Structure 1
Amino acid sequence: MIVITLTKVPQSLRGDLTKWYQEVQAGVYVGNVSARIRDLLWDRIMKNIGNGEATMVYNTNSELGYQMETTRKDYQVIDYDGIPLMMRLNTTPSPVKHGFSNAAKFHRAKVMTHRTDRKKAHKLQRQVTAIDLETTGLKAATDKIISIGAVKKIKNGEIDQFYKLIQVNDNIQTKITNLTGISSDLLRTRGIDLDSALQQLKKFIGQSVVVGYNLRFDQEFLSYGFKKIGQPDLSNQMVDLMPVIKKTNKFLDNYRLSTVLKEYSVRNSKPHHALSDAQATLELETKLIENGHLLI
């Protein structure tokens, strides 16, 4: 019997282990493989663990009948007269930084070399508009857009904003109101019709590159909206920042917008508010470009 516990490791590693072990609880894997496969899998864990932690316990012909391995920095496995013990260390070494392989070091050096040039190039790039929608649900075919937020930088460096509440005939569910702060009464008194909102949005965006986080969700609702009012869909270049984050930062616990913004030190004063989310997304886009992870 082999038991492995994982914390804060890349999702790809978790998925890899499920080919050989059964995940009986989040981060806890149990299996029964040969010693050769066990050691090969442990080597794979060591190579792909990132800044996470792993501990393995397995059967052996020892006094206790088992042995332990761990990557934890605050504990060390010691042998005490043939008995494996976990000894807590008095001092904890500094955490391992991401990018310890030679390939990662080369990539970082390359990024640093070109970062200044990228910043200069960014000033010459096309205008970017970040957008975000709030909706009554997750299905574009049946649910409705209730607010649209968009922001873009204008020539003098200032931010131009677009925000519209959309009238809908349906009553807004309490859970949506609690999440977004948008109620049926608010939409009746301050909302405009979808046709006007989408036409104004298209004019605001102009020829900009449109960016968003999980932009496919917003695109689907916008496409249904334009189809509903009998107008052509947006033809702008679309850039979804979520795949960029997943490719460049594989060590996040999850890829929710709030988690990503915290990782990149981007403040969002009103989460689940379309305008505030759009502003935070635009700042995230800027940081990705400055870090050399995105070029528009």
Structure 2
Amino acid sequence: MSAYEAIYKIMSTMPVHTGEITAEMRGMITATKTKNIQTILAYPLKVGGTYMRVALIHLLSFHYQAHLSRGSYVAVGPNREPYFPLIFNQHVLTDTTPRAAVMHLHTVATQATTEIVEAFDIPVLIATRNIYDTLVSWANHQEKNLATGGYPDWDFLTENGKPFSEMTAEERRHGLIHFAPLWYARHYGSWLRYSKACMEKGIRPPLWMRYEDLVERPVDLLMAIIQHVDPAHTYSREQAQAALQLAMQDKEAVRFNKGVGGRGDAYFSAEEKQVIYDIIKTAGEPDLIELGVLPDPDAEAERLAS
């Protein structure tokens, strides 16, 4: 087969415009399986993803050539989806030691994404955090970056037709309350629906985690993650602890400072919190309360009454 014929064969079996991966391509993926592994941290923004991905890479390095892979076509924004040719390359590329690609993608569960996840058998990790704390953490991070010009593409969370740096304080707060929650609702809602679909189909669902576990029980959390990502190997708690310590050596790079829980509750007024709550709850109120994204209204009412 000539190079042109090989290219044509691959192109003709690529995902179709709806994102569906053809049976021919699925067969090719299975036939070219290696000892490499891949995982996607489909974290929303500001829930400790950078810290955990660094720790996970350190832990996987006991058995693999572990590395960060954006897994997307270009790394010019946080709102990325997996890029099929890159995923396929990570799947087939061989070396003396198997490779482990840790992809940190703030992606929603579109059909294109979930088709890739299932075809390549990629474990997915999703973390959650109280939405009020999340939004305040994002706002503080963005304000901090104004002086250095970092992450200008994060404007998309509060975008109103002008760059974040040109918005008034009132416009920024309006976007934080009315626009940003829409993205988080879409993110959480899409993955919750996909998780339920996985259970119905009898395939591995994403692993859901809470920010509180990262702060209070990081070793337990990392052990749960590694069992989900790489069940073929055994890792000790001592190895997990060492990986976490290595990750924290560059605290500024991992941007994890164990944010104070409840600061978002104090930052927003009661009316603002209600607006945010009403937007987020459309993604699945009971599930989001259980996962700690939304406060429990009954528990809150009891607290206020006591």
- Normalised-by-shorter TM-score class: under 0.3
Higher relative contact order (CA 8 A, sep 6+): 2
Structure of larger gyration radius: 1
Q: Which has the higher strand share?
A: 1
